[in-house]
């Protein structure tokens, strides 16, 4: 897509405003990063609340007329909600999602600096949460102020809402309930996720979707207790044998998932989407090095990127049963277990998927073996059509900020974005500036300050572009990815 450039006067004002306020912005971000809002540590629950209160106060200071700390159910950790109405009757409503909780971190883990004392070295700010996700949440505060300065408005060109979660790093246990409880106040035309990244520092990209995930444990039971393999072997069903047969039957010779109905509804890649993935500078050998694997493997007919971004998968996470101690023990075990996880893509229905798993297991298991299947919940996939007007606004705005072509990726993993999509009925888009070297969840997490400034600048252009193109684009978007203009 060739970005429609903002007027030079707007660009000059935005960049000058960011330059003028850069130091204060980084000081504020550093102050927030000093709060160790580790949601996984019960002893730091108070710090997570302090982080939420700090952010709500800062959003009020930024200009949001509504900035509230929202408690979650079951004694969970708080989220932050903020709202700044546009005042324009036909303005679209955008809900920005991020999170203010962080992963655990300690100097003795191998950090070169104190993880909760932000340190700037060579244009990078090192601290836990610098990229994941406080830095990427916080760039919107300076971005909206630069937007107002450049447009002369007193309120954003869109109805701007923020929902900043406090439990994302702990699996978002209360997030779906929070969204359902406040669905009326969270209502939006578009959800913007600022908890993602780009391909690399010199290859800015926009993510267009995330896979969903579902997992289950299958327990297989045979004799009432472990029994002698000499006396009974070859004459009664063996649960460990059944577990092995079940796992072996999971894929066919082309590494396609062999569960009947598994691919029902899958939104297939278009040729244009495959071309866009192929444009990325993917080094498969380097990727294998990160994976610490010696070879690639997967569904026949698809590239590595297509497999991890756009195809559903089934993986064995664990298999066990019988005797696993030293030496031998000649038994037929009483039970065996298999843990499976499935990455789902757009078009797959989670409820139908679970029914397919149940029917498949029933058909595979030998008579005389009792089995149980425990599903542990599921996250639905989300996918934004390439021609969606809001996505095109993101691409134009990023193109203006980065002054180069913006390419497209997807995420192989899963997140709470689908909860927002399901409850609010709004499409999900992604705006992030983090890069793989930022070290999410690792030691020495950092954010590139130059890219952080590009995030601010993208946010500054985005709201006016989205407001301008929204009404026209609503009549043009399709129900699935299309041949978007990308050159």
Tell me which residue of 135, 170, 175, 174 sits closest to 39, measured CA to CA. Answer: 170
* 233, two tokens: 């072997």
Contact between 407 and 205 (Cβ < 8 Å):
yes
433 pLDDT exceeds 80?
yes
Compute the distance between CA of residue 32 and CA of residue 141 in angstroms, rounded to an integer: 13
Q: Give yes or no for residue 390 having a pLDDT over 70.
A: yes
Q: Check residue 470 and give its pLDDT.
A: 87
pTM: 0.89
**Residue 218 scores a pLDDT above 50:** yes
Yes or no: say if 242 and 343 are a contact pair by the CB < 8 Å rule: no
Closest CA to 384 of 351, 350, 409, 413: 409
Euclidean distance between CA atoms 72 and 267, whole angstroms = 35
C-beta atoms surrounding 233 within 10 Å: 13
pLDDT in tens, 237-249: 999 999 999 999 9
pLDDT tens digits along 270-297: 999 999 999 999 999 999 998 999 999 9
Q: Does position 204 have pLDDT exceeding 70, yes or no? A: yes
Q: What's the pLDDT band for 481 if we cut at 50, 70, 90?
A: very low
Q: What is the 3-state secondary structure (H, E, C) of 420-433?
A: HHHHHCCCEEECCC
Using a pLDDT cut of 90, give the percent of the chain over it: 88
Q: Write down the CATH number for the domain with range 8-210+381-474.
A: 3.40.630.10
Residues of the chain with CATH 3.40.630.10: 8-210+381-474
Helix (H) / strand (E) containing 177: helix 175-181
Q: What is the DSSP string of 180-248?
A: HHTHHHH--SEEEE-S-B-SBTTB-EEEEEE-EEEEEEEEEE-SSS-EEHHHHTTTS--HHHHHHHHHH
State the span(s) of the chain assigned CATH 3.30.70.360. 213-266+312-379
Tokens encoding 158: 């869109």
Q: What is the DSSP letter of 67?
A: E
| pLDDT, average across residues 156-185 | 96
Q: What is the pLDDT of residues 95-129, one digit of tens each?
A: 999 999 999 999 999 999 999 999 999 999 999 99
pLDDT > 70: what percent of the chain?
95
Is the domain spanning 213-266+312-379 CATH 3.30.870.10? The answer is: no
Query: At residue 478, does pLDDT exceed 60?
Result: no
| Mean pLDDT confidence for 141-162 | 98
Predicted pLDDT at 476: 44
């Amino acid at each position: 897509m060739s970005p429609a450039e903002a007027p030079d006067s707007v660009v000059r004002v935005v960049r000058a405003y960011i330059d003028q306020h850069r130091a204060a912005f980084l000081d504020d971000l550093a102050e927030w990063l000093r709060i160790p809002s580790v949601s996984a540590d019960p002893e730091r629950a108070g710090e997570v609340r302090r982080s939420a209160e700090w952010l709500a106060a800062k959003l009020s200071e930024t200009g949001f007329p509504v900035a509230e700390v929202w408690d979650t159910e079951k004694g969970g950790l708080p989220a932050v909600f903020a709202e700044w109405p546009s005042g324009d009757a036909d303005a679209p409503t955008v809900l920005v999602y991020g999170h203010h909780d962080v992963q655990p971190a300690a100097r003795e883990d191998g950090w070169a600096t104190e993880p909760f004392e932000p340190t700037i070295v060579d244009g990078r700010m090192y601290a836990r949460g610098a990229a994941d996700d406080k830095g990427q949440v916080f760039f919107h505060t300076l971005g909206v102020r630069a937007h107002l300065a450049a447009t002369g408005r007193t309120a954003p060109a869109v109805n701007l809402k923020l929902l900043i979660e406090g439990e994302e790093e702990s699996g978002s246990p209360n997030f779906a309930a929070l969204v359902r409880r406040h669905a009326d106040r969270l209502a939006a035309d578009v959800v913007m996720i600022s908890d993602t990244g780009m391909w690399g520092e010199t290859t800015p990209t926009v993510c267009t979707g995330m896979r969903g995930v579902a997992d289950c444990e299958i327990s297989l039971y045979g004799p009432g207790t472990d029994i002698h393999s000499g006396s009974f072997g070859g004459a009664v069903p063996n649960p460990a044998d059944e577990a092995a047969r079940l796992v072996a039957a999971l894929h066919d010779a082309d590494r396609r998932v062999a569960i009947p109905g598994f691919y029902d509804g899958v939104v297939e890649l278009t040729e244009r989407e495959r071309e866009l993935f192929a444009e990325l500078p993917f080094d498969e050998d380097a990727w294998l090095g990160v994976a610490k694997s010696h070879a690639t493997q997967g569904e026949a007919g698809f590239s590595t990127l297509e497999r991890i971004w756009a195809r559903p998968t089934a993986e064995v996470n664990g298999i066990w049963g019988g005797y696993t101690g030293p030496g031998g023990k000649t038994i037929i075990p009483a039970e065996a277990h298999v843990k499976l996880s499935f990455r789902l893509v757009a078009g797959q229905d989670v409820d139908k998927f679970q029914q397919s798993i149940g029917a498949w297991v029933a058909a595979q298991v030998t008579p005389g073996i009792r089995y149980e299947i425990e599903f542990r919940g599921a996250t639905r996939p989300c996918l934004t059509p390439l021609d969606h007007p809001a996505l095109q606004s993101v691409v134009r705005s990023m193109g203006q900020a980065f002054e180069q072509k913006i390419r497209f990726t997807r995420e192989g993993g899963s997140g709470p974005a689908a909860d927002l999509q399901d409850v609010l009925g709004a499409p999900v888009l992604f705006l992030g500036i983090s890069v793989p070297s930022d070290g999410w969840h690792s030691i020495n997490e950092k954010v590139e300050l130059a890219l952080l400034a590009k995030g601010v600048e993208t946010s500054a252009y985005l709201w006016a572009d989205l407001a301008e193109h929204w009404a026209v684009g609503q009549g043009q978007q399709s129900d699935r990815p299309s041949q978007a203009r990308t050159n």
